[in-house]
Every structure is written in structure tokens, then in C-alpha cells.
């Protein structure tokens, strides 16, 4: 990605080469930068042009750092998209497992179960059992699991229903 610092305008312009990074990752990175800069995306013959206008006044070095941060964020978002794509089936299975009690009567649960391989199903079952065992162990240790009572419900913290 190419940077050009516009010191007088308090902005850095980043040009993303076409095909190098997914446009969705560039958009997501621009959104993440919203707390630091206003982002404007446009397209020209060199690729996607992202103008980051800093919300605070920055010098040339700060603007260059802002551009570098945007570069890293585009890379992070690209990785996020790849991981999401690679794990889509597993995520769908986990969500479907959470919804199975609600749809069990409709017969759709059997269809959802059939979409994963036996290895995937056994791995998910193993992870669920491991998580349940950890939760049970934490519940036994009354002092260490939640010493501040953060996980208590409103009713547990306010037995008389006080406001």
C-alpha cells in the first residue's frame, strides 16, 4: 500500500493496489479507524484510494503512523475474513445446536446434524463436554471463580427486587 501524507490537510492518503487486499477488508479497516480518523474511499486506476483525515491534529510522523496502522488493520481484517470463511461450517453447526431445542419439533434438527462429518461432530461434542466440565469446576470453587460477584444475575444481587 502506498501512502502520501498531506500535512496541510491533516490527512494521509493510502492507495490499495487492486486485487492485493479484498475490498471488504479495506472497508472494515476504514470502519475500525473511525475513532481516529474520517475515512473516504474512492477508486481510480491505481486501486482503492482511502483518505484518512485525522480527527486530532497530527504532524507528518503521526499521519504516517496512522497510515501504517491502517495497513495493519487491513491485514487483520483480511485474516478475519479468511478465518470466518474457513470456519463457517463449524460456526453454523454450533449455532444450529443452540437452536435445536427450539426447532426439534419441526424435524429440521436431523437435517442440521447431517451437514457435518463425524469427526467434526465428535470434536464439537468433546469441546462442549470440556467447557461444561470447566464450568462445573469453577462452580465448586466459590472464592476463585467470581470473587466480585460479576456473573450474578440482578435477582441474585437484589433479592428484594430493589431498584
Which CATH number goes with the domain that contains 31? 3.30.70
- Of 86, 101, 124, the residue at which a domain comes to its end is 86
The confidence band for 143, taking pLDDT boundaries of 50, 70 and 90, is: low
113 within some domain: yes
Q: What is the pLDDT of residue 7?
A: 76
The answer, yes or no, to whether residue 114 has pLDDT greater than 70, is no
pLDDT band at 4; cut points 50, 70, 90: confident
For residues 130 and 82, state if they share a domain: no
The winner for highest mean pLDDT among 1-5, 36-40, 86-90, 156-160 is 36-40
pLDDT of residue 149: 67
Three-state secondary structure string covering 21-35: CCHHHHHHHHHHHHH
Same domain, 75 and 12: yes
Considering the domain architecture, whether residues 78 and 100 belong to the same structural domain is answered as no
Q: Quick one: 82 and 95 in the same domain? A: no
**Structural domain boundaries, residue 121:** 89-142
Write down the pLDDT at residue 161: 56
Contact of 77 with 20, CB cutoff 8 Å = no
Overall average pLDDT of the 27-44 stretch: 93
Residue 30 belongs to some domain of the structure: yes
Domains in the chain, number: 2
Q: Is the residue at 69 inside a domain?
A: yes
Mean pLDDT of all residues belonging to the chain: 83
Does residue 25 share a domain with residue 98? Answer: no
pLDDT of residue 66: 94
Query: CA geometry: angle at 150 spanning 134 and 94, to 5°?
Result: 45
Rounded to the nearest 5 percent, the helix, strand and coil shares of the chain are: 60, 15, 20
**Based on the domain organization, do 18 and 82 belong to the same domain?**
yes
pTM of the full structure:
0.58
Residues above pLDDT 90, as percent of the chain? 41
Nearest-5° Cα angle at 66, 70 to 14 = 55
List CB contacts of 93: < 8 A, sequence separation 6 or more: 112, 115, 116, 120, 121, 124
Same structural domain for residues 82 and 93? Answer: no
Amino acid at each position: 500500500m502506498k501512502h502520501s501524507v498531506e500535512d496541510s490537510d491533516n490527512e494521509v492518503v493510502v492507495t490499495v493496489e487492486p486485487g492485493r487486499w479484498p475490498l471488504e477488508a479495506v472497508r472494515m479497516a476504514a470502519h475500525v479507524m473511525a475513532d481516529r480518523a474520517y475515512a473516504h474511499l474512492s477508486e481510480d486506476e491505481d486501486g482503492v484510494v482511502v483518505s484518512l483525515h485525522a480527527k486530532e491534529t497530527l504532524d507528518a510522523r503521526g499521519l504516517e503512523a496512522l497510515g501504517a496502522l491502517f495497513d495493519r488493520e487491513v491485514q487483520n481484517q483480511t485474516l478475519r475474513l479468511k478465518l470466518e470463511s474457513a470456519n463457517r461450517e463449524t460456526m453454523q453447526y454450533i449455532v444450529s445446536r443452540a437452536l435445536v431445542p427450539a426447532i426439534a419439533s419441526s424435524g429440521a434438527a436431523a437435517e442440521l446434524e447431517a451437514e457435518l462429518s463425524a469427526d467434526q461432530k465428535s470434536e464439537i461434542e468433546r469441546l462442549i463436554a470440556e467447557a461444561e466440565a470447566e464450568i462445573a469446576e469453577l462452580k465448586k470453587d466459590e472464592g476463585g471463580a467470581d470473587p466480585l460477584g460479576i456473573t450474578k444475575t440482578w435477582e441474585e444481587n437484589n433479592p428484594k427486587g430493589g431498584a
